[in-house]
Structure formats: C-alpha cells, structure tokens
Amino acid sequence: MTVGRGENTIKTTCPYCGVGCGILASTSEEGGVSVLGDPEHPANFGRLCSKGSALGETTDWSDRLLYPEIAGTRTHWDHALDLISSKFSDAIAAYGPDSVAFYISGQLLTEDYYVANKLMKGYIGSANIDTNSRLCMASSVAGHRRAFGTDTVPGTYEDLELADLLILVGSNLAWCHPVLYQRIVAAKASRPEMKVVLVEPRLTMTNDIADIHLPIRFDGDVALFEGLLAYLKEKNGLNEEYIAAYTTGFDAALAAASHYSLAEISVETGLEISDLEEFYRLCLKTEKTVTVYSQGVNQSIAGTDKVSAIINCHLATGRIGREGMGPFSITGQPNAMGGREVGGMANMLACHMDIENADHRSITQRFWNSPMIVDKPGLKAVDLFRAIRDGEIKAVWIMGTNPVDSLPEADLVKEALETCPFVVVSDIVQRTDTTAYADVALPSEGWGEKEGLVTNSERRISRQQRFLPSPGEARADWWQIAQVAKRMGYEYAFDFPDAASVAREYAAMSAFENDGDRDFDIGALSHMTAREFADFSPVQWPFKDGENPRSTRFFTKGEFYTSDRKARFQVPAKRNPKSFNHTYSYTLTTGRIRDQWHTMTRTGKSSRLSQHLAEPFVEIHPADAEDLRIKEAELVEIYNDHGSIIVRALLTDRVSQKSVFLPMHWTDQFASNARINCLVPANTDPYSGQPASKNVPCLIKRFTASYYGFAVTREKPNLSKFDYWAIAKCDGGWRIELAIEDRTADYAEMAKDILGAGEILDYQDQRKGEYRIAVFDGGDVKGVFYLSPTPVSVSRSWLVNQLCASHESKISRYELLAGRPGAEGQDIGAIVCSCFSVGRNQIVDAVTKKGCVTLPSVGGCLKAGTNCGSCRSEIQEILNEFVVIQAAE
C-alpha cells in the first residue's frame, strides 16, 4: 500500500468524489499500481480515504471492455465510428436535430464534456445533451443561478475549517466526502469552540462530529431555514447594510418566511421547539457560519427551494464570501463542477453562459464559428428517457454513466433503451446493466489511462494524468466524439490533436469577450504549452489571463452576476404539509455507503472494499421489524407501485420508525434484484428537473425463504436459479449470499451448481435442516457452501480468507465445515477498517481486554483507523458503546 516517490511516481487526481484529492501513483515492473495521498495537493494535503487508497486494486483489465463492439461482436474502430456518424446523421436528416441525444457524466473529464457539448449545441443544433449531474447537482445549480445570476460556489474548503458554526444539511460527509470530513475533524480538534450541527433524518457516521443532531423530517428543510430567517429578523440578527447594498427581494422573502409560527415549523420539521430554538440561537450569535449541503437537499421535489432557503439566510446576514462564511454546495462526482462550467447540461451553454441570453448565444456561436447555436433548452434526463421510450429520440449516446441503475423509474429506462433504434454506450466495463442495451459499445480509457482536467467542489482545477497503458483498443472519450464529429462533416472544428488543445480552446472561450461580466474565466490557461499541461498544478478559478493564481471568494462586496449586480432573494413555494403524507406505510430514503462507488463497476473489483458491507441491505427500525415479523438478517421485500426488490434486513435505531434506508449501489451484476431505482418514481423538482431520490413511499414484507445459503467460491458461479443472490469479490474468489423459496430443492444439486466437482466433505443435520459442504482440489479448497432454514450463521470474515489458505489437514477441513476458526484462530467479526482488514470483534477485544479507550490507542494496538481514517467514526462508535458499558460496570 505504501509507495515511494521514485522516478515512476506521477501526480494525478482521484477519480471518485468531488473533494478532488491529489494522488501520487506508482507502477511496479509487474504492472501493479500503488497510491499515496499527494502531500502538496491543497484538497487533501496527503490524506486519502478508503476508496482512494484502494485505487490500485481496480486498475487490472478483468471485466474491461477492450474493443469496440457492434451488437456484442468485436469490430474495428472505423466501422463503429462510421456507423455512429451515419445513424446520427440519418436521424437528424429525417427527423431533425432534436431526434438525437447525448447522456453523459460528471465523471468525464472537462475535455470530453467540452467536445460533446460543442458538437451537440453548435453543430448538430440541439440541446438534447444532459448529464447524470441532473440527478446530483441540478438543484444547486438552479438555486445558485436564481440567487447569484450564475452558478458560483462562493467559498473554499478552508472556510469549512475556519467556521465557528458548520451546518451540515443532508450530507453524510464522513462516508461521502471522507477527506474533507477528516479536515473538519482536525479543525474541530484544534478549535474545540467550533460547533457542528447535522440536519439529517437518520443517524449517520457523520454524527460523530456533531454537537447537535436535528433528526429532521423528510423534506422539512425549507421550513427549517425559513424559520431561521424569520427568527433572525425578530432577534435583530440581520445584516441590513448587506441586504440594502447588494440584494433585492428581501421583503417578499421575509414576508413568506414570517408566515409560519414556530409551532408550525416544529410540525413540518418534526423537531422539538426547544431544539429549533437552540439551533436558531446558535445561528444568531455565530457570525462565522458555513452551511454545507448535499443530496438530502438537492434530490427533492423542493430541492431548488431548499437551496434558496439556505442562501436567503446567508444573504440576509451577509455571511457570504468572507473567511469561514457562506453557503457551500458540495459536489459529488470528480468533475461535477467541471461539467457545470463547460455547459454539459441541457439548459446551459459553455463557460457559464445561458441559452436564454442572446448575447451569450452570439458569443458562443462566434467563438466556435459554428453553423448554428441552440436557442432553447433541451430535454432534462428524466424527460429525455421518457422521450426515448416514446420513440421521439432515434439515436442516443450514453457515456460514463449507468442510467439503467441510477435514473428513477429505472425499468422505464430499460424499456426506453430496448425501444430506441440506436444506442451507443461508451464505458470502461464490458458488462453493465446499461451496456446490455448497446447497439454499439465503445471502450473508453479509464482512470490512469486518460488525461485531462477536473474541477472539485471548491472550484479547484486539477489534472488526471496518464500513467498506464490503454487496455486493448480503449480510447479517450473526447477522441471518440471528435471522430464522429469529423465523420459528420465537421472536420475543421474538431481537429484536436490532443487533450491539451481541447483544454486551451476551452480556456480561451471562457475569456472571449468576457469583461468581468461572467464569473467563469480561466483565460490564463489558454496559452498552456503541452509541457505546462502535463505539469499542471491545481489552481482555483477565476484565473484570468495575465493574473497569478490565487485563492478567491466571491460576493464579499456583492458584485453578483445579475443585470444590476445584486443578489435575488427567493420566495420558496408555499408548502402544504399535507402533501408530504402518502398512503404507503413507509418512507424509503436512498444513499451511499462508505466503501462503494455508485454502481460498483470499479470499487466492486476490490476485495478489501467489498468486505465492509458485502450485500444489499435495508436499515429498518427494530419496532417496525417487530410489527412486520422480520428478524435480524432475514430477507425482506420492499415494494410499491413501481417495482419490488429483495434485500437483507439490518435492524437499527439509526433510522426512525416508519422510515427505511437503502444503499443505491447494487445492480444486476451484483445481486438478483436490488436495483433501488426501480422503486423510485420520477418526481422532479419543478425548476431543476432533479429527481426526488430521497423520499419514496414504499411497503415492506418478509421474504419467505425456505433456505438461506452462504458460500465462498474460487470460480464465479451462475446463480440465476436462486430466488435471491448477492455476490461480492473476496481474496481469491467470491462470497455469495443466497436464498430459495422452494422447500423441496435438492441440496446436492445446488452445491454442485455453485462449487463444481471435486473431493467432497459434507455434513447434514436433518433435524435442523442444515447442510454444509466443502469441495477440495488437492490441498486447495474450491469452495464451501452452507444451507440453513434460518439465516446462515458462520464467521464470514474468517471464511473469506480461507480460499487463499492451505487445507491439507483434517482439522482445518472440519473448521471449514464448521464455518469458523478453531480455538487457536480468531473470529474477527465484520470488517470495520478496510485498509488493514480489522474486524469489529478485534476492536471490541482491544477496548474490553486491552484497555484501549481512545481512537489513538486502538490505532496503536491494531493499526485500525491509522491509514485513511474513513473508519474512525465507526471505531469511535464502538468505543462509545463499550467504554460506557465498562464505566457503568
């Protein structure tokens, strides 16, 4: 895991979250990749989280799409590109430019985004190009634009450390932006007076740093912040000078906010009046306040209003654009911000210019010297896939995203792709739920193989660097688009020799006729030489031609990007609390887990990352489980009018009663039936078009399994016969959870399907209905399979390491059948620290038997938590549990 800084070490940027950490990557002679945090990168100063640290385990070529394919058969690039250009051109000729579409991704590099956007909006003449940022950042973008006149994040990461009050709204920072979370933990340790408030319906690991947790009712956020605005006014806590000098619309916003009594706000937010008052008092007296928000805010039918309600409070107090102050929308994907800058969404032009603005359209068209320029927004993601389903779109190109899993009404997306006459998918992985529908699949270069720019949450542009050979015939995404553009007749505008030339053109565009009336200006990069591009150092924008790089904040003294340079207060839509009530008994919320990234195409390849939570699950309150007669670790069916899925029940009071939490990650590649988006209706925010993925009505019932199974196997078996299965990578093979409904199923037959043939050792307990079997090949175990009428109870963390161990002795073979180590061995329990594979039982032992009562002492004893730190909040939770018990004894 450690790397030196030898000659073959290069600087690059992490391809996962929007923190945008700098990485030092090295390759060994055998082709292995190891990574370290870059101590000089201003996002992470050397830190990395569990996902970043495991990057070296995801760069092998297994599962990769290596060659272009037409209808699943390998073909030449020329054939594939010719076919795409003719299908797109034919559709445009027959049905017009709006009959084709691109659906792209915040995980593409800026250069990819720029070329795609240029082709669609300036040459094809449609704005039917949208991105998965629609599911992610669209409400923040809409909220920024209507308040500031442009999509600007005013502050920097440093502000989060300098704040005296940090309000985290709908953000599970500890798991989703772990390095930024670690920076806050460090800041709080050095300035204990800093207060953190967590506004979050569940108890998440982020609660570890919270002084106050406000377990808000789903979508109660607008009420919470409107209540705050009214309170600040009542207590003379507003900055009247800032309001008067730099804003308009305050009176209307205040009038709307003052409409509700504290008692009404208490009902809408589900929070006690005393808790509301405590929070509001803290806001009143703390000048240095930063409000960080993420998907609990954006992914809502009131997402844009939530953003506005938050921004209103910052404008009204003048707490914006100054050290330790401001609203801070944190981005999810590595280049979510870059995609916004480059106009990757259906309702924007490049470089933060607006489709609706005739001057901006003219600037864009003249800069590109393009035959046309769009003058109306295109279809946003949800509408785009509906249009595909309805036959309006004849050809679509999907790039760097997996919509069959990640869009709401996901089964409609399947139907749409089945119906669409021509589907192109560019991906790095051969088999995803989306490539299954590709007429043409194009192999893209992945992280480490491609090069270009990305922008993180604080407007800092960094570089992803190439340091690995491209597998097979994989090519850069921008190259693929440029090749098609050339074949469509636009050779002159898409003749980019390399990524640097794309970056230079884009930088020049940002400065073109920009006299300071557009925020986004990176003109200084327009003269970059190839060498400077290769050695690119992270830089925050704006970065104007002739200026030196510097750290900047926006709006300290107004200067917003509206016609009168004043910010606009917004009036959130009138709320009808009754509209939150639905006839279903449960509310389902969806989100992320620590060690997986979205649809798991990359993190799912790392056996270390796959051990933390190895199966799709639902967090359900013990009281609800009792009502539903569901016991711990049984399987449950979650369903509604849209669909149904089967997952494992995890009983916990981290969720409140009548609400459940499900992770978004599992796909048909990793589980039989756990694509949560087949349950999520496509309800969208009226301004941003962002789907409400966080507040989904559902019902729950116990899944009646006659048998539960667990297996570890060397080979990946075909599991389609089972009613439930989930598979995860482990060292030397796979770990598999199973269930079947059929009482009469044949044990031995099942075992053969899973383990194959070999020397058998088995055991059957007829009374309990249990069956256990291990199959050997000489001294190696091919696999072990356990079957039971109740959830299988074996030591999974021990078993997943047995595929790589020798099993010559009888004793060790019987231990395998027993499913746990003998007296000598240790059952380490569920993995908590994935860097050093430290399990829960080991930590409990260290606390209860070895006197480790602090995080550093657990680290000293077991190394747990000493590398990336992503597990520290979980260790702290175990400490809290057991140190308190010990103290009480």
Residues binding ligand MGD (CB under 6 A): 17, 51, 105-107, 132, 135-136, 169-172, 175-176, 199-202, 204, 216, 218-219, 221, 294-296, 299-300, 332-333, 399-403, 405-406, 426-429, 432, 444, 446, 450, 477, 589-592, 594, 596-599, 601, 664, 676-677, 680, 693-694
Stretch of 12-20, 289-297, 457-465, 785-793 contacting ligand SF4, by CB under 6 A: 12-20
Task: Tell me how far, at minimum, the Cβ of 448 lies from ligand MGD, in Å.
Answer: 10
Binding footprint of Mo ion, residue count (CB under 5 A):
2
Q: How far apart are alpha carbons 710 and 725 in whole angstroms?
A: 9
The option from ligand SF4, Mo ion, ligand MGD, none interacting with 170 (CB < 5 to 8 A, set by class) reads: ligand MGD
Q: How far apart are alpha carbons 671 and 738 in whole angstroms?
A: 10
Among 3, 11, 12, 21, binds ligand SF4 (CB under 6 A): 21
Helices (H), 208-285: 221-234, 240-246, 250-257, 262-269, 273-285
Task: Tell me how far, at minimum, the Cβ of 478 lies from ligand SF4, in Å.
Answer: 22
**Which residues, at least 6 apart from 458, have a Cβ–Cβ distance to it below 8 Å?**
43, 153, 155, 156, 157, 540
Task: Tell me how far, at minimum, the Cβ of 873 lies from ligand MGD, in Å.
Answer: 13
**Max CA distance (Å), the chain:** 83
Please name which of 402, 338, 346 lies closest in space to residue 120, comparing C-alpha atoms. 346
Surface-to-core class of residue 373, CB atoms within 10 Å of its CB (0-12 exposed, 13-18 middle, 19+ buried): buried
**Which residues, at least 6 apart from 30, have a Cβ–Cβ distance to it below 8 Å?**
none
Task: Tell me how far, at minimum, the Cβ of 678 lies from ligand MGD, in Å.
Answer: 10
Surface-to-core class of residue 824, CB atoms within 10 Å of its CB (0-12 exposed, 13-18 middle, 19+ buried): exposed
- Per the listing, tokens 């999810």 go with 332
- Per the listing, tokens 């301004």 go with 687
Task: Tell me how far, at minimum, the Cβ of 201 lies from ligand MGD, in Å.
Answer: 5
- Check: CB of residue 497 under 8 Å from CB of residue 530: no
Task: Tell me how far, at minimum, the Cβ of 332 lies from Mo ion, in Å.
Answer: 3
Binding footprint of ligand SF4, residue count (CB under 6 A):
14
Among 19, 84, 297, 345, binds ligand SF4 (CB under 6 A): 19
The option from Mo ion, ligand MGD, ligand SF4, none interacting with 455 (CB < 5 to 8 A, set by class) reads: none
If one counts every other C-beta atom within 10 angstroms of the C-beta of residue 62, the result is 8
**Which residues, at least 6 apart from 103, have a Cβ–Cβ distance to it below 8 Å?**
129, 130, 131, 132, 381, 384, 385, 396, 397, 398, 399, 401, 403
Specify the 3-state DSSP secondary structure of 829: coil
- Segment 38 to 67, residues that bind ligand SF4, using CB under 6 A: 44, 48-49, 51-52
The option from ligand SF4, Mo ion, ligand MGD, none interacting with 48 (CB < 5 to 8 A, set by class) reads: ligand SF4
Give the phi and the psi of residue 420 in degrees, each rounded to 5. -60, 130
* Choice between 460 and 553, CB closer to ligand MGD: 460
Task: Tell me how far, at minimum, the Cβ of 405 lies from ligand MGD, in Å.
Answer: 6
Stretch of 175-183, 224-232, 562-570, 856-864 contacting ligand SF4, by CB under 6 A: 175-183
Q: How far apart are alpha carbons 109 and 503 in whole angstroms?
A: 10
Please name which of 527, 537, 473 lies closest in space to residue 505, comparing C-alpha atoms. 527
Q: How far apart are alpha carbons 513 and 362 in whole angstroms?
A: 11
**Which residues, at least 6 apart from 490, have a Cβ–Cβ distance to it below 8 Å?**
119, 123
The option from ligand SF4, Mo ion, ligand MGD, none interacting with 56 (CB < 5 to 8 A, set by class) reads: none
- Site for Mo ion contains 104 (CB under 5 A): no
* Choice between 176 and 265, CB closer to ligand MGD: 176
- Site for ligand SF4 contains 843 (CB under 6 A): no
- Site for Mo ion contains 643 (CB under 5 A): no
- Site for ligand SF4 contains 448 (CB under 6 A): no
Q: Can you spell out the DSSP letters for 677-699? A: GGT----B-TTT--B-TT-EEEE
- Site for Mo ion contains 751 (CB under 5 A): no
- Site for ligand SF4 contains 16 (CB under 6 A): yes
- Site for ligand SF4 contains 407 (CB under 6 A): no
Among 17, 493, 662, 781, binds ligand SF4 (CB under 6 A): 17
**Which residues, at least 6 apart from 715, have a Cβ–Cβ distance to it below 8 Å?**
733, 734, 756, 782, 783
The option from ligand MGD, Mo ion, ligand SF4, none interacting with 477 (CB < 5 to 8 A, set by class) reads: ligand MGD
Among 48, 115, 136, 185, binds Mo ion (CB under 5 A): 136
> Which residues are registered as beta bridge partners of 441?
69, 425
* Choice between 429 and 649, CB closer to ligand MGD: 429
Q: How far apart are alpha carbons 327 and 304 in whole angstroms?
A: 14
* Choice between 47 and 475, CB closer to ligand SF4: 47
Q: How far apart are alpha carbons 598 and 663 in whole angstroms?
A: 9
Q: Mask 212-251, x = binds ligand SF4 (CB under 6 A)?
A: ----------------------------------------
The option from Mo ion, ligand MGD, ligand SF4, none interacting with 52 (CB < 5 to 8 A, set by class) reads: ligand SF4
- Segment 296 to 335, residues that bind Mo ion, using CB under 5 A: 332
Task: Tell me how far, at minimum, the Cβ of 431 lies from ligand SF4, in Å.
Answer: 24
- Site for Mo ion contains 345 (CB under 5 A): no
Give the phi and the psi of residue 775 in degrees, each rounded to 5. -120, 130
Task: Tell me how far, at minimum, the Cβ of 14 lies from ligand SF4, in Å.
Answer: 3
- Site for ligand SF4 contains 593 (CB under 6 A): no
- Segment 335 to 374, residues that bind ligand SF4, using CB under 6 A: none
- Segment 490 to 549, residues that bind ligand SF4, using CB under 6 A: none
With helix as H, strand as E and coil as C, how does 165-207 read?
Answer: EEEEECCCHHHHCHHHHHHHHHHHHHCCCCEEEEECCCCCHHH
Please name which of 728, 780, 773 lies closest in space to residue 754, comparing C-alpha atoms. 773
- Site residues, ligand SF4 (CB under 6 A): 14, 16-17, 19-21, 44, 48-49, 51-52, 177-179
Binding site for Mo ion (CB under 5 A): 136, 332
